[in-house]
Amino acid sequence: MQIAAFGQRGTSLIEVMMAVLVFSIGMIGLAGLMVMASRSSHAAYLRTQVTFLASNMANRMSVNSTGVWDGSYNRSDYPLAVAGDHCDDGAACDAKALAAHDQKLWSSQLNTFLPNPKATIQCDGSKSLGIVPIDLNRRPPYGGNCKMTVSWSEQGIDDENHRGNVNQTFAWEFQP
């Protein structure tokens, strides 16, 4: 009788060890899934930020159509390292000063919300109605198209070491 009881205790220990092994493998898989979900969530967050920032600048540009018409927003070196402007002191701003103010704020937002941001804005007013300089203040809304691209670095999901960055680009063509 004691031999049978001894055999039963050994079998239970092996069963417990196998259960712990299966459970451990499941937990390792779950941990990997959590890491992947966290990365995917962060990538979705960055893409949401890019969409918000792009529409924010497009809305700013639609308010300052004179600045868009004269090319004040056209740049390929965003974010800018710009100093303060006089639009912050409550005084009235002309179109160029308002464009510089918008660029300063947008550059600050790009640097705050995106890793390694780079952006360009290029507006082509050649398809707009012919406006002579004297009629600039009485013109219709901007009739050309603007192209905006925003690039940022994102941690690669497929990278085995998970240390490499992948550059992502958001491109948008719009009419302010």
Encode pLDDT of 18-47 as tens digits: 999 999 999 999 998 998 888 888 889 999
pLDDT recorded at residue 1: 46
Q: Which two tokens stand for residue 90?
A: 């409550």
Both ends of the chain: CA-CA distance in Å?
Answer: 90
pTM of the model: 0.72
In angstroms, the CA 167 to CA 46 distance is 12
Place of tokens 């680009």: 169
User: Which regions in the chain score pLDDT beneath 50?
Assistant: 1-2
pLDDT recorded at residue 169: 92
- Helices and strands counted in the chain (H then E): 3, 4
In angstroms, the CA 176 to CA 164 distance is 36
Place of tokens 């240390």: 163
